[in-house]
A and B are shown apart, each in its own frame.
Chain A
């Protein structure tokens, strides 16, 4: 299992569009991809779960990947958050 903490920098936080882009990005990976925020764990492949975390701009989130392609999955997810979640 690998993980990394990143900061959400897009102005609107984890809203509809950023959450969709995130789930679309990580769904193709075999590994599980979780977002840990405020002590709770959310499935990053689910838009609904990502939105329900109510992650706002400036929040620090931990991304955790587990599986055969975990390193690639983590890199894809982290790059996405750092580039502003497509916003």
Chain B
């Protein structure tokens, strides 16, 4: 088995077509007829521009405008005065066109590949593609035509150039393996758009395989098998069928409401970290935002973001969600999340220290900016404010007081906001769970954060390998805590949601249905999976399972009972 980067999900099984690249060799001779060489270069650039435009157009029509962007970028770069201009200058000194193209491209490749920015490093591979294409044109080397490969082909190449990827016929290509390229490379983006399983960056793979070898490409895990044994092949044929069946099944849930098997409507929201993620939530069919982490604004910055900067970011997410709920969690820093310019003091026990709502209330000037920005954004949709790490009633009262003062100020200045904006708290500490009945009288909603709730309830640092085995939301204590929180919220008539990883866990979902959880906030890519699992359980089935599970004494017993009852 070989491993690489899992770049496009799914299982591909088929026969290898090895794409052998011609070596692009030339003699770097001194040129005497400089004008003729310049004309040869110009002709090559024109040809490059024509073929690249045609490919971009083809990809735009066949796949989509976003996928065509990379090739359009190539056109912009080649027309840049510093690219073709520098090349021409070198030709003018007597270098041949090939050497000039190579030298200028290599200079830019060197420059971009050193940058500490993923997207910039991607430009290095773009320039490398441009170099290869131009050299091929100058040397008269034709690309292999991969539009004619037989059905069930696994393409293996050092790298897939854009011209190759644009020829791929999705019905015939079962998988893609390359030696170079990452998750954001042109090959990866196209493979995902075409839904072809792909594993990239497999070291030396082109030297390890031959044409017609059988290969398995597991694009979900990043694994590759060449000429696998019979039992491995059987296993993967089954895995492939399973994957295809699941994908088909999930597609049925697109655009549908989230309903239990007995027809109860639940809310399925998404967790996001930036305004742009809201678009992903919409694409993945999320029904709202259950957790908008506001930290990114503070972490990806070298100064405290101003009220206006924050307002713009919140407003962007709210507008993308078009009237659907957006729950913004106020600044949750401290603990393991440090922000250099805030000069927070180092603490011996950061997870029990000056973090989250404690930090916010201790720095009212900073906190006010954020609350004002959120209130202003609330005029553009349905916004809710959520406080992290609440441990006592006074915290929510203090924040409410600050918000009332801001509202009064806004009224006086005629600044628009939603006067009915809801203020809720995360329930993620043992204390908050124990006083959930008291907090429910003060908060407009609850959201259970299972990651911190598990950590604080079990008194375990999940990063510490010696104790990590204790870290599980299926510990009887954590489950009891979750049940108690939901019951208190329901008794007080306030909505209860969950925004930790557990909300999308197939084993946890039946318990949450039984406990009466109404809002599930998950990673956007898990929306359809969660909706599918929710659809399989009726309240009475979930209740029967919960009754059984809640009487068990150990985590291992809980997990095995849930696994035995799981519906696939």
| A-to-B contact residues, CB < 8 Å | 9, 11-12, 15-17, 20, 23, 43, 45-49, 51-52, 54, 56-58
Interface of B is mostly: helix
The smallest beta-carbon distance between A79 and chain B, in angstroms, is: 17
Contact A16 B302 (CB under 8 A): no
Q: Mark B271-295, 1 if CB is under 8 A from A, else 0.
A: 0001010000000000000000000
Given contacts A12-B119, A54-B117, 16 further A-B contacts (CB under 8 A): A11-B274, A16-B76, A20-B76, A46-B81, A47-B76, A48-B77, A48-B80, A48-B108, A51-B112, A52-B108, A54-B115, A54-B116, A56-B117, A57-B300, A57-B301, A58-B301
* Given contact pairs A47-B76, A48-B77, A16 touches B82 in the complex (Cβ within 8 A): no
The smallest beta-carbon distance between A38 and chain B, in angstroms, is: 13
CB neighbours of B76 from chain A (8 A): 16, 20, 47
CB neighbours of B69 from chain A (8 A): 16-17
Contact A49 B123 (CB under 8 A): no
Contact B73 A16 (CB under 8 A): yes
CB neighbours of B116 from chain A (8 A): 54
CB neighbours of B276 from chain A (8 A): 11
Contact A47 B300 (CB under 8 A): no
Does any Cβ of A come within 8 Å of B111's Cβ? yes
The smallest beta-carbon distance between B111 and chain A, in angstroms, is: 5
CB neighbours of B82 from chain A (8 A): 43, 46, 48-49
Cα(A71)–Cα(B558), bound, Å: 72
Does any Cβ of A come within 8 Å of B120's Cβ? yes
| B-to-A contact residues, CB < 8 Å | 69, 73, 76-77, 80-83, 108, 111-112, 115-117, 119-120, 123, 274, 276, 300-303, 309
Contact B83 A51 (CB under 8 A): no
Contact B123 A16 (CB under 8 A): yes
CB neighbours of A23 from chain B (8 A): 80
Pick the 6 closest A-B CB pairs, nearest first: A46-B82, A48-B82, A47-B80, A16-B73, A20-B76, A48-B80
Cα(A48)–Cα(B87), bound, Å: 14
The smallest beta-carbon distance between A72 and chain B, in angstroms, is: 21
Contact B301 A47 (CB under 8 A): no
- The interface centre, meaning the residue of B82, B119, B274, B309 with most chain A CB atoms within 10 A of its CB, is B82
Residue of B nearest to A56 (CB): B117
A52 in complex: contacting residue of B112, B274, B301, B309, CB < 8 Å? B112
Cα(A11)–Cα(B274), bound, Å: 10
Residue of B nearest to A59 (CB): B302
Cα(A48)–Cα(B300), bound, Å: 25
- The interface centre, meaning the residue of B80, B81, B112, B302 with most chain A CB atoms within 10 A of its CB, is B80
The smallest beta-carbon distance between A86 and chain B, in angstroms, is: 13
CB neighbours of B83 from chain A (8 A): 48
Cα(A57)–Cα(B108), bound, Å: 22
